[in-house]
Each structure stands twice: as structure tokens, then as C-alpha cells.
Chain A
Amino acid sequence: NAGVTQTPKFRVLKTGQSMTLLCAQDMNHEYMYWYRQDPGMGLRLIHYSVGEGTTAKGEVPDGYNVSRLKKQNFLLGLESAAPSQTSVYFCASKPLAGGPSVATQYFGPGTRLLVL
């Protein structure tokens, strides 16, 4: 199993450009999450999904949209990138077993995004 993979690994955007980050997991997990991590900070939750076709807002959702059309994929979109969105983006997934508070989240390797 590849686990959680993220595409691309690194990207440079100009202000106002759009892009989509792809997260894929091959563990048949129900829950998926997008986080951002700024230098010297902990991760902050952007959006999450508790199942195919569902999404919900996290702590810092503004400027981002997400879609979960397939169970194994969770897309994060930036419609009009801003320098404040320069960050490292991590995707994670979690199985349903054990309930929401129990099971482990599995993280991808991250995508480094620089917005000029």
C-alpha cells in the first residue's frame, strides 16, 4: 500500500492563479482531512470529509474549496492564490473503525506551496 500520497510535492504560483492539490489514499478510509502548516507552527485544519460526497469546514477554510467525489480522493482548490496561502499542506485520512475520537490519522508527505 502506498498509504496517503499528495500531488504535487512543490509548486510556485503567482498571486491570483488557481490550482488544485490532490490527495489520494488506498486504505479505504472514510475520513479525510486537509491541513496547512506555517513555519514554526502546528497544523491547522482547513476542511475535512467524513465520507464520499460530504465536506465540512475546519479552523481556516477561507480561500479554499474541497471536493470528495471519490472515496479515495480529496481535492483542495485555491481559486485565487494569495501570498498568505504560502504554506505546507498536509492531507490525512482515518478509518471509520473505533469511532471519530479513537482511530489514528495517517498523514501524507506534504505539498510545499509558494505564492509570489
Chain B
Amino acid sequence: DAKTTQPNSMESNEEEPVHLPCNHSTISGTDYIHWYRQLPSQGPEYVIHGLTSNVNNRMASLAIAEDRKSSTLILHRATLRDAAVYYCILAYNQGGKLIFGQGTELSVKP
């Protein structure tokens, strides 16, 4: 099973960009890269996903390495409400199962 590796924690200052890295060296050609985040005492929420090309949406940007062995979630201007655990997940083909790792706990300082 393809797995992901993320730093346990990161810190950011409010209003500054944040780059959250993820390594997935055993990714297969059909695995999509998904990012979810979990705010304190809430269920996870979808952030962004991609296959090969970089992706942008209203929440964040996803930069995918050319060899697809790593990716970076970019929050362009961190706010206090972005403090959460961020999960980088490879989506399996069968039933769309998501295998969560421990994620990166992002803290944002005012």
C-alpha cells in the first residue's frame, strides 16, 4: 500500500504563506493525492486533490512534483482559523478508501 510521510508539526505566523510537505515515494500511476484538514473537535474536511498537474482552489494550492513522489500544500495567507491537522492521503481505486496517516499539526501564531 502506498503511504505518505509528513512532518508531525509546523508553525506559521498569521498572514504568511505556509508550505506543508508530503512525501509519497511509492505512489502508483493511478493514485490521486488528496489533502484533508481536521479542525479541533470536528470531522475532517476536504481541502484539495490532484493527479499530476498543480491545482488551485479557494482554500489552497497543491504543487505536485514532476515525478509525483512528493507534493506540497500551500496556504497563501495563514489565518488563525487554519490551525488544524493536515492530512496528505493517496486515494485508492477500490471504493475510494482514504488511508489517513498522523498528519501535520499546523499552529498559527498571531
Give the interface of A toward B (CB within 8 A). Answer: 4, 31, 33, 35, 40-45, 48, 50, 56, 58-59, 90, 92, 94, 99-110
Contact = CB atoms under 8 A, between A and B. Distances in A.
Nearest to A56: B95
Interface of B: 30-32, 36, 41-46, 49, 87, 91-103
Contacts of A108: 43
The 7 closest A-B pairs by CB, nearest first: A107-B43, A42-B100, A100-B96, A104-B46, A43-B100, A101-B91, A101-B32
Contacts of B43: 4, 90, 92, 107-110
B92 A90 contact: no
B71 to A, nearest CB: 15
A43 B95 contact: no
A109 B91 CA distance: 22
A41 B102 contact: yes
B95 A50 contact: yes
Nearest to B89: A42
B49 A104 contact: yes
Contacts of B95: 31, 48, 50, 56, 100
A90 B93 contact: no
Contacts of B98: 33, 43, 45, 105
Contacts of B30: 101
B46 A45 contact: no
B60 to A, nearest CB: 14
Contacts of A50: 95
A56 B96 CA distance: 12
A103 B96 contact: yes
A100 B45 contact: no
Contacts of A59: 99
28 contacts: A4-B43, A33-B98, A40-B102, A42-B100, A44-B100, A58-B97, A94-B96, A100-B92, A100-B93, A101-B91, A101-B92, A101-B96, A102-B32, A102-B96, A104-B46, A104-B49, A105-B44, A105-B46, A105-B96, A106-B46, A107-B43, A107-B44, A108-B43, A109-B42, A109-B43, A110-B41, A110-B42, A110-B43
